[in-house]
C-alpha cells in the first residue's frame, strides 16, 4: 500500500463489514464515523462479492468508489482464503480483490474488531462499572460473553498505535472458588467433560448455568433460553436473578484472571450481546468486588484496574474501520 492509497482513504471512505454465520453488516467508514449501515442475510447471496455489490447499490455508491475494504470474519483468520464456519461463503483473497477492483483488502477476526473499537471509542459509548486508574503504556483487556466468550488484548506500540492480540481465552478452565461453584462444575463436567469458561459465560452458557442450578436445587425450570432467563430476572423473578448474578460473578473471576495473565492494567472493556443488555442490573451486581477479591498479591494488583462496558451499537463495524485505518497508515 502506497501513500497515495492512504491519502485517498483519508479524503474519502472505505467499506467495512462484520460478517457472522447469519448476517453481514456493512457500512461506509468516513472520518472515523460509520455511515449507511445495513444488515444483509448471508443466505440471500451466493458469494460475499455479490453482497458487497448489492450493498453499494442500495446506498447509491458505485463499485469504482471503493478502494479499501476491511471485513471482520467470524473465525480464526490466517493469511490465506477464509471459509466461514456457519455459512456457505468463502472469501478468496486474490479473486475478491480483483473482481471488486480493490487496492487493499484486510480480513480480521470478528472479536479482534471489538479490541480495535476499544482503542478509539469515546466516553459516550463507554459506561464505567468499576472505578480505577488505567495505566498508560499497559495492555487493555477486552472480554465479551455472547454467542461464545471472546477474549483479546490491546498492546500499545511505541509509535502510538495499538496491536491487537487475539486469543482463545474463552476456552480456559472455568475457575471454581466456592462449594456451589464446585457443585455446578461437577454437573458441567458430567455433561461436557472439559469445563471451559465459555460453558457458563455465553448465551448457551447462561442456559447451562440456569438448568444446572435448577437441577442442583430441585427446582422446576421455568426458562428455556438465555433471553427468557434475562427477561424473568428483570421482571423480578428471584431465582432467575440469582442465576444472572452468579453469571456476573463468574465473569468477574475470568476477567480478573485474564488481567493477571496479560498484565492488563490499562483497563477492562466488556462487550458482547449479554452484559450491555442488562447493564443496570450488572452495575448493581457483585462484579466489581469479585473482580479484585483474591489473595494478598493478586487482590492489590487488580484493585486499581478500571472496567467499562462498551455500549456502541455496532462496535464490530467501528473496530473494522479503526483496524483498516491503522493498517493503511502503517503501510503508507
Parallel, antiparallel, or unpaired: how do β-strands 68-73 and 104-109 relate?
A: parallel
pLDDT of 3 reads: 43
* Rounded distance between C-alpha atoms, residue 255 and residue 173, angstroms: 12
User: Please, are residues 173 and 197 in contact by the beta-carbon 8 Å criterion?
Assistant: yes
55/36 Cα distance (integer angstroms)? 9
Whole-number pLDDT of residue 250: 98
- Residue 20 is predicted with a pLDDT of 84
pLDDT for res 6: 47
- Residue 170 near residue 151, CB atoms below 8 Å: yes
What is d(CA 301, CA 288) in angstroms, rounded to the nearest whole number?
14
String of b and e for 164-185 (b: at least 16 CB within 10 Å)? bebbebbebebebeeeebebbb
Q: Where are the chain's structural domains? A: 3-109+315-331, 122-311
Q: Is the pTM of this model over 0.85?
A: yes
d(CA 18, CA 26): 7
Phi, psi of 27 (to 5 degrees): -155, 165
221, with CB counted inside 10 A (0-12, 13-18, 19+), is middle
Report the DSSP beta bridge partners of residue 126.
310
- The grid cell for 165 is 492480540
Cell 426458562 -> residue: 223
For residue 272, with 0-12 CB atoms within 10 Å meaning exposed, 13-18 middle and 19 or more buried, which class applies?
buried
Q: What pLDDT, in 10s, does the model give residues 49-66? A: 999 999 999 999 999 999
pLDDT of residue 198: 95
Q: Of the candidates 127, 171, 166, which has an alpha carbon nearest to the alpha carbon of residue 267?
A: 127
- Residues pairing with 142 in the sheet: 152, 269
Q: Please state whether beta strands 23-30 and 14-19 pair in parallel, antiparallel, or not at all (unpaired).
A: antiparallel
pLDDT of residue 21: 79
| Residue corresponding to grid cell 485517498 | 8
Burial class (CB in 10 A: 0-12, 13-18, 19+), 48: buried
Annotated binding-site members for ATP: 17-22
C-alpha span between 42 and 44 (Å, rounded): 5
Please check whether residue 130 is in contact with residue 285, taking contact to mean a CB–CB distance below 8 angstroms.
no
Instruction: Say if CB 144 and CB 272 are below 8 A apart.
Output: yes
pLDDT of 122: 86
Binding residue numbers: 17-22
* pLDDT for res 133: 95
pLDDT digits (tens, 9 = 90+) for 244-274: 999 999 999 999 999 999 999 999 999 998 9
Domains 3-109+315-331 and 122-311 share a fold: no
In terms of residues, how long is the chain? 332
Domain 3-109+315-331: homologous superfamily in CATH:
ATPase, nucleotide binding domain (3.30.420.40)
Cell of 229: 432467563
H or E element, residue 270:
strand 268-270
H or E element in which residue 113 lies = helix 110-118
CATH number corresponding to 122-311: 3.40.367.20
Place of cell 457500512: 27
pLDDT, one tens digit for every residue, the chain (332 residues): 344 444 445 457 899 999 987 889 999 999 889 999 999 999 999 999 999 999 999 999 999 999 999 999 877 788 788 888 778 999 999 999 999 999 999 999 888 899 999 988 888 999 999 999 999 999 999 999 988 899 999 999 888 888 998 888 899 999 999 999 999 999 999 999 999 999 999 999 999 999 999 999 999 999 999 999 999 999 999 999 999 999 999 999 999 999 999 999 999 999 998 999 999 999 999 999 999 998 888 889 999 999 999 998 899 999 999 999 888 887 76
Q: How far apart are CA 33 and CA 318, in angstroms?
A: 8
The C-alpha cell that represents 23 in the structure block:
448476517
Amino acid at each position: 500500500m502506497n501513500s497515495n492509497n492512504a491519502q485517498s482513504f483519508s479524503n474519502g471512505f472505505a467499506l467495512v463489514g462484520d460478517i457472522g454465520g447469519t448476517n453481514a453488516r456493512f457500512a461506509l467508514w468516513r472520518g472515523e464515523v460509520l455511515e449507511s449501515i445495513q444488515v444483509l442475510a448471508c443466505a440471500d447471496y451466493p458469494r460475499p462479492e455479490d453482497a458487497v455489490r448489492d450493498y453499494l447499490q442500495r446506498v447509491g455508491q458505485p463499485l469504482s468508489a471503493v478502494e479499501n475494504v476491511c471485513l471482520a470474519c467470524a473465525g480464526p483468520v490466517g493469511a490465506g482464503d477464509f471459509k466461514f464456519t456457519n455459512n456457505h461463503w468463502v472469501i478468496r483473497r486474490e479473486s475478491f480483490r480483483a473482481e471488486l477492483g480493490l487496492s487493499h483488502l484486510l480480513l480480521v477476526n470478528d472479536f479482534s474488531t471489538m479490541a480495535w473499537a476499544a482503542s478509539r471509542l469515546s466516553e459516550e459509548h463507554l459506561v464505567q462499572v468499576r472505578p480505577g486508574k488505567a495505566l498508560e503504556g499497559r495492555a487493555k483487556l477486552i472480554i465479551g460473553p455472547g454467542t461464545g466468550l471472546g477474549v483479546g488484548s490491546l498492546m500499545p506500540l511505541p509509535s502510538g498505535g495499538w496491536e491487537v492480540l487475539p486469543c482463545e481465552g474463552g476456552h480456559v478452565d472455568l475457575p471454581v472458588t466456592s462449594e456451589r461453584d464446585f457443585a455446578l462444575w461437577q454437573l458441567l463436567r458430567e455433561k461436557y467433560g472439559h469445563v471451559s469458561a465459555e460453558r457458563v459465560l455465553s448465551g448457551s452458557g447462561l442456559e447451562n448455568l440456569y438448568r444446572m442450578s435448577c437441577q442442583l436445587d430441585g427446582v422446576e425450570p421455568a426458562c428455556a433460553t438465555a433471553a427468557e432467563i434475562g427477561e424473568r430476572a428483570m421482571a423480578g423473578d428471584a431465582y432467575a436473578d440469582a442465576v444472572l448474578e452468579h453469571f456476573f460473578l463468574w465473569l468477574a473471576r475470568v476477567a480478573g484472571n485474564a488481567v493477571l495473565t496479560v498484565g492488563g492494567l490499562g483497563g477492562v472493556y466488556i462487550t458482547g450481546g449479554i452484559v450491555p443488555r442488562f447493564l443496570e442490573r450488572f452495575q448493581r451486581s457483585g462484579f466489581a468486588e469479585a473482580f479484585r477479591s483474591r489473595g494478598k498479591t493478586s487482590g492489590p494488583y487488580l484493585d486499581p484496574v478500571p472496567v467499562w462496558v462498551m455500549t456502541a451499537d455496532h462496535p464490530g463495524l467501528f473496530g473494522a474501520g479503526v483496524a483498516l485505518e491503522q493498517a493503511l497508515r502503517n503501510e503508507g
